[in-house]
């Protein structure tokens, strides 16, 4: 395949935040790269095949805007064959965070269930979405009802995210404060909440009596800020993927390996329980594939809906960045031989 599956001109579902060409990105080399796994060939995405497999089914992305990034990529990949209806408001959901799409010709539902921490939080961000340093309380033993209350009837659930766990956080378990992060003059990141939030989310979905679907966990999507962080001049203005070991090592400054390890450990424990229950629980490990792509972020070529949010975006991905993730998703769905 030469070039991407779609462009910002052919897919109307690319949001301003990820429409880098619309906002003046001058180079287009980032559109031409395609990830190749070691010792195998990742098949191209087949929109017709995907829609045939999910006919009459439902799929939910659970997490933060990284999940939305992947979902919008999937919609663009499918747009060459079918385009969905936006039923978000019809389902009584806030379009600022949630999405609920429906493909009538295929009776296929595709949703984003917004839950940046996966567990219950104090939700201070609803009042000030531009303040990324706003402290949050995480109730680590309580799953977020934003997704739990809707997830039981979904056939395919995809957990992703993790970008919100860099904030000042207070950890609460069973009514007791058990620790905090970036608090009391301590600037360290311990990611305890990240581990336990995943543990709680996985246990919750595996113990839902009516849930019979398959579960995918997308590993942490790396950010690539250089020469500073998001709030002090950090940027990601590289125009090519990383190629050397030294370059890759320089892109791991913020605990990426620790996050990746935690997520994989919690996945492995949950996978054992899933097998006992006859549920299909699979890992989509995209971390190493994406850590070499500092050229794939919007950097300054984006537009936030909230005018108070400024700075370079080295967290999300210019479209069609997450297309690789959906190629992996389709590949795994086919290999499971579970969806006819």
Residues annotated as catalytic are 65, 313, 316
DSSP strand pairing (169-173 vs 280-284): unpaired
DSSP strand pairing (169-173 vs 176-181): antiparallel
CA atoms within 13 A on the CB side of 224: 26
Q: Hey, what are 112's tokens?
A: 């984003």
Strand intervals (E) in the chain: 58-63, 85-86, 99-103, 108-114, 119-121, 136-143, 156-159, 169-173, 176-181, 214-218, 280-284
CA angle 27, 74, 262 (to 5 degrees): 90
Task: Provide the greatest CA pair distance for the chain.
Answer: 56
Residue 263 near residue 217, CB atoms below 8 Å: yes
Residue whose tokens read 């919609």: 75
Closest CA to 216 of 167, 271, 292, 179: 271
Q: What is the CA radius of gyration of the chain?
A: 19
Which residues, at least 6 apart from 98, have a Cβ–Cβ distance to it below 8 Å?
Answer: 88, 111, 112, 113, 114
Which residues, at least 6 apart from 51, have a Cβ–Cβ distance to it below 8 Å?
Answer: 78, 81, 82, 103, 106, 108
- Distance in angstroms (rounded) separating the CA atoms of residues 47 and 326: 10
């Amino acid at each position: 395949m030469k070039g991407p599956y779609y462009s910002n001109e052919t897919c109307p579902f690319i949001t301003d935040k990820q429409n880098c060409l619309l906002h003046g990105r001058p180079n287009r080399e980032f559109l031409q790269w395609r990830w190749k796994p070691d010792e195998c060939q990742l098949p191209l995405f087949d929109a017709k095949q995907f829609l045939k497999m999910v006919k009459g089914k439902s799929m939910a992305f659970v997490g933060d805007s990284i999940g939305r990034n992947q979902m919008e990529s999937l919609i663009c990949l499918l747009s060459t064959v079918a385009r969905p209806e936006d039923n978000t408001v019809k389902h009584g959901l806030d379009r600022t965070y949630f999405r609920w799409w429906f493909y009538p010709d295929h009776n296929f539902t595709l949703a984003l269930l917004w839950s940046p921490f996966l567990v219950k939080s104090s939700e201070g961000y609803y009042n000030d979405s531009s303040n990324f340093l706003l402290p949050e309380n995480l109730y680590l033993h309580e799953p977020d009802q934003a997704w739990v209350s809707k997830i039981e009837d979904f056939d395919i659930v995809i957990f992703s995210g993790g970008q919100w766990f860099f904030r000042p956080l207070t950890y609460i378990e069973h009514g007791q404060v058990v620790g905090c992060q970036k608090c009391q003059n301590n600037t360290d990141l311990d990611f305890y909440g990240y581990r336990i939030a995943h543990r709680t989310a996985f246990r919750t979905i595996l113990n839902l009596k009516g849930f019979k679907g398959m579960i995918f966990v997308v590993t942490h999507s790396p950010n690539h800020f250089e020469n500073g962080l998001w709030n002090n001049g950090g940027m990601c203005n590289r125009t090519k993927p990383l190629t050397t070991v030294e370059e890759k090592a320089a892109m791991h400054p913020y605990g990426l390996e620790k996050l990746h390890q935690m997520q994989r450990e919690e996945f492995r424990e949950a996978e054992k329980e899933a097998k006992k229950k006859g549920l299909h629980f699979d890992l989509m490990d995209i971390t190493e594939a994406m850590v070499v792509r500092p050229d794939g972020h919007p950097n300054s070529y984006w537009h936030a809906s909230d005018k108070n949010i400024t700075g370079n975006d080295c967290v999300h991905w210019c479209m069609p960045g997450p297309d690789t993730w959906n190629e992996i998703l389709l590949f795994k769905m086919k290999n499971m031989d579970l969806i006819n």
